[in-house]
Amino acid sequence: MSNASAVFKACAKAIQRGELIEREGRTDKEFHFQNWFKRRLEALNINFDSPGRNSYPDFRLVRFTEGFELKGLAYPGREADYDCNSQVPCGEHNGRQVYYVFGRYPANPDGNSYPVLDLVLCHGNFLNADNTYVHKNKSFRGFGSYGDILVRDRKMYVAPTPFALVEGTAHRRTLIVPERYAVDADLVEVGTLTRREVDQIVVAYSFDLRTNELATTQVANPNAGREHVFKAYRVSNDSADAVTMRERQRVLAELGAAGAALEDDED
């Protein structure tokens, strides 16, 4: 029995009631949305482990093998993709089902209290269906003219958000789960979303320190063409506007533009 329906409804109804994010000050750039979500779990009397700076997912339920990873997004601002730090998005981690909670809030509020503008709670498989990859950072020593400089291969992942992948989530509150998942009967279905696995997958990459060129190695995906079907839901008194997948090439073009802008900012 999943808690996703109850948690989603608690979030959606809190937004409808106008329950605001309360940040401690302008320097609070990370935990204000987490604290808002934390109050939803407390109201449901669900026991959870409090989030730590490097914990994944952010909120891990105690009596259930489920967790919730929070992603707050300033709006207007970067919303097509988000930094995953050192953890590739997935739907299962360490035996626990993982859900992602994306919430957008005003980029430039006029105070320390402001609303959640829209919210998507989605199962991690909607972002990435591969739950087998294990992240590890590696390093080698020997770089430089004296051969004693350490080079760290510290990977950073950037994944698309539901706001980039589908139409119909902006300024709405939406739950997205695999089609086989049972949800509460009072939720209203507003869309069927299908993601199809690609023909080729990346299994390795290399970086040329002389030219600063990055190259990837691809192999045939053994699950090529496999479809993963999800359902989108809303609470009964919310908008029934349809949620649909965006055209893949359009999404990739938008992600490419977002990635180029991100690289320019880092230069």
Domain boundaries, the chain: 4-195+229-266
**What is the residue whose two structure tokens read 């490097």?**
54
253-267: average pLDDT: 73
How far apart CA 226 and CA 212 sit, in angstroms, is 35
Does the pLDDT of residue 225 top 80, yes or no? yes
**What tens digit of pLDDT does each residue of 53-106 get?**
678 899 999 999 999 999 999 999 999 999 988 789 999 999 999 999 999 999
Predicted confidence band at 147 (pLDDT cuts at 50, 70, 90)?
very high
Average model confidence (pLDDT) for the chain?
92
Among the listed residues 174, 195, 29, 158, the one whose alpha carbon sits nearest the alpha carbon of residue 81: 158
**Residue, of 86 and 128, whose pLDDT is higher:** 128
> Cα 102 from chain centroid?
6
Q: What pLDDT is stored for residue 258 in this prediction?
A: 73
pLDDT above 70 coverage of the chain, percent: 94
Express as a percent the part of the chain with pLDDT over 90. 81
261: pLDDT strictly greater than 70: no
Give the predicted TM-score (pTM) of the model: 0.92
pLDDT band at 257 (very low <50, low <70, confident <90, very high): confident
- Whether residue 143 has pLDDT greater than 80: yes
- DSSP assignment of the chain, as one string? --SHHHHHHHHHHHHHHTPPEE-SSTT--SSHHHHHHHHHHHHTT--EEPP-TT-SSSEEESSSSEEEEEEEEEESS--SEEE-TT----SEETTEEEEEEEEEEESS-SSSEE---EEEEEEGGGT----------EEEEEESTTS-EEEEE----EEE-HHHHEES-TTSEEEEEETTS---TTEEEEEEEEEE--SEEEEEEEEETTTTEEEEEEEE-TTTT-EEEEEEEEETTS-----EEPPHHHHHHHHHHHHHHHHHHH-
Does the pLDDT value for residue 202 go beyond 90? yes
